[in-house]
């Protein structure tokens, strides 16, 4: 990589080949499977192939919410996809998600399995299928779609933008850090102002818009994301903090957060029955 201020991109971008290390193997300009690998299948209607990162936790929180609300058809097996072992490039996984990113889901409740990728699609599909956590009236539903898609659109600025340049990039680039810190703060301000006037993202009703937004915003507000809490002054978003606290106290949310977490306190590697999570939470 050039550290030269005078760096000018070539006329045509060319891949200089695989960089060293695991991230080097992950980052490449082409898609597709790199090896043949079968995925395991459990007995429940839903088979989730994922990880307990903020992107994966959205889905496990919704499953736990559905089960807590009495939707027995939402039973699921959560299998761990270890992206550091490049399992997202195995052939079975790529057949579910050609984008090679967690989360990926199979709905095996019908005659033929239905594949789903991208958490926005997964949350909408499940909410519609079970008629839950989605406002019933047209205007409420429109608001829910907007905040759900807003989350999908903003997450890459937080992780791939701020997280990457503040914490992960091998060089600290003032321009990039400024740009993404400003955007991360703007995103938190949008949420803070909205939640000053609304108990939940869609007003009075807790919905998939809250579930989608919770994991990343919780990571920034209570999790010191990328070590940047003080830098971004996350404590100043008091309405956002009030909402994070209320949502974070929900039992199904606490359950969903530990699924497929292969690290940290209270980690559960996989979930094949409620008892798997009970055991982890009992030990916390
Ligand atoms: N658009 C997806 C992105 C999901 C994503 O970036 N997943 C990461 C883990 S948190 C991943 O699978 N990375 C593997 C890779 O980039 O090869 C979302 O919003 O959830």
**Is 88 touching ligand 1 by the criterion CB < 6 Å?**
yes
Residue 187 lies in a domain: yes
State residue 153's pLDDT score: 97
* pLDDT tens-digit profile, the chain (284 residues): 556 678 899 999 999 887 777 777 788 999 999 999 999 999 999 999 999 999 999 999 999 999 999 999 999 999 999 999 999 999 999 999 999 999 999 999 999 999 999 999 999 999 999 999 999 999 999 999 999 999 999 999 999 999 999 999 999 999 999 999 999 999 999 999 999 999 999 999 999 999 999 999 999 999 999 999 999 999 999 999 999 999 999 999 999 999 998 766 556 679 999 999 998 888 76
pTM given for the model = 0.95
| CA 225-229-234 angle, 5° bins | 110
**Which parts of the chain fold into alpha helices (H)?**
21-26, 54-68, 91-96, 119-130, 138-156, 174-197, 208-221, 229-232, 238-248, 251-258, 274-282
Q: Domain check: are 203 and 120 in the same one? A: no
Residue 148 lies in a domain: yes
Q: Domain check: are 119 and 63 in the same one? A: yes
**Is 119 touching ligand 1 by the criterion CB < 6 Å?**
yes
Neighbouring-strand partners of residue 187: none
Q: Domain check: are 164 and 76 in the same one? A: no
Q: Which two tokens stand for residue 158?
A: 């937080």
**Is 55 touching ligand 1 by the criterion CB < 6 Å?**
yes
- How are beta strands 76-80 and 104-107 bridged, if at all? unpaired
State residue 7's pLDDT score: 86
Q: Domain check: are 231 and 275 in the same one? A: no
Q: Domain check: are 90 and 158 in the same one? A: no
Q: Domain check: are 152 and 242 in the same one? A: yes
**Is 102 touching ligand 1 by the criterion CB < 6 Å?**
yes
CA–chain centroid gap for 100, Å, is 14
Q: Domain check: are 146 and 123 in the same one? A: no
Q: Domain check: are 129 and 261 in the same one? A: yes
The whole-angstrom separation of Cα 128 and Cα 116 is: 14
The whole-angstrom separation of Cα 126 and Cα 148 is: 14
Q: Which atom of ligand 1 is nearest to the CA of 55?
A: 20
Tell me whether residue 100 is exposed, middle or buried, using C-beta atoms within 10 angstroms of its C-beta: 0 to 12, 13 to 18, 19 or more. buried
Q: Domain check: are 185 and 244 in the same one? A: yes
Residue 106 lies in a domain: yes
Residue 5 lies in a domain: no
Q: Which atom of ligand 1 is nearest to the CA of 81?
A: 12
Residue 224 lies in a domain: yes
State residue 23's pLDDT score: 72
Q: Domain check: are 125 and 170 in the same one? A: no
Q: Domain check: are 110 and 145 in the same one? A: no
**Is 25 touching ligand 1 by the criterion CB < 6 Å?**
no
In 3D space, the residue among 124, 52, 107, 91 whose CA is nearest the CA of residue 276 turns out to be 52
How many domains is the chain built from?
2
What's 213's domain CATH number? 1.20.1050.10
Residue 89 lies in a domain: yes
Q: Domain check: are 144 and 221 in the same one? A: yes
Residue 16 lies in a domain: no
Neighbouring-strand partners of residue 47: 77, 106
- Domain carrying residue 192: 138-249
State residue 19's pLDDT score: 73
How big is the chain by its Cα radius of gyration, in Å?
Answer: 20
State residue 273's pLDDT score: 96
What's 277's domain CATH number? 3.40.30.10
């Amino acid at each position: 990589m050039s550290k030269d201020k005078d760096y000018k991109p070539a006329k045509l971008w060319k891949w200089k080949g695989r960089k060293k290390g695991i991230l080097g193997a992950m980052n490449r300009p082409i898609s597709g499977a790199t090896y043949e690998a079968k995925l395991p299948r459990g007995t429940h209607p839903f088979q989730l192939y994922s990880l307990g990162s903020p992107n994966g936790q959205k889905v496990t929180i919704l499953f736990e919410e559905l089960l807590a609300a009495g939707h027995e058809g939402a039973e699921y097996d959560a299998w761990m996809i270890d992206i550091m072992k490049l399992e997202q490039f195995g052939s079975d996984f790529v057949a579910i998600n050609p984008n090679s990113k967690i989360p990926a889901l199979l709905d095996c409740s019908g005659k033929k399995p239905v594949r789903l990728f991208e958490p926005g699609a997964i949350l909408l599909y499940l909410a519609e299928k079970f008629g839950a956590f989605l406002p019933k009236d047209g205007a409420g539903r429109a608001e829910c779609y907007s905040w759900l898609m807003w989350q999908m659109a903003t997450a890459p600025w937080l992780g791939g933008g701020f997280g990457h340049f503040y914490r992960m990039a091998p060089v600290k680039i003032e321009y990039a850090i400024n740009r993404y810190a400003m955007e991360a703060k703007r995103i938190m301000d949008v949420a803070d102002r909205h939640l000053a006037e609304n108990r939940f993202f869609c007003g009075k009703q807790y919905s998939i818009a809250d579930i989608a937004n919770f994991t990343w915003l919780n990571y920034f507000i209570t999790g010191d994301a990328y070590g940047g809490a003080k830098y971004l002054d996350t404590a100043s978003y008091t309405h956002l903090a009030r909402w994070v606290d209320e949502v974070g106290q929900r039992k199904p949310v606490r359950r969903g957060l530990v699924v497929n977490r292969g690290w940290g306190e209270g980690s559960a590697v996989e979930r094949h029955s409620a008892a798997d999570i009970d055991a982890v939470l009992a030990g916390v």
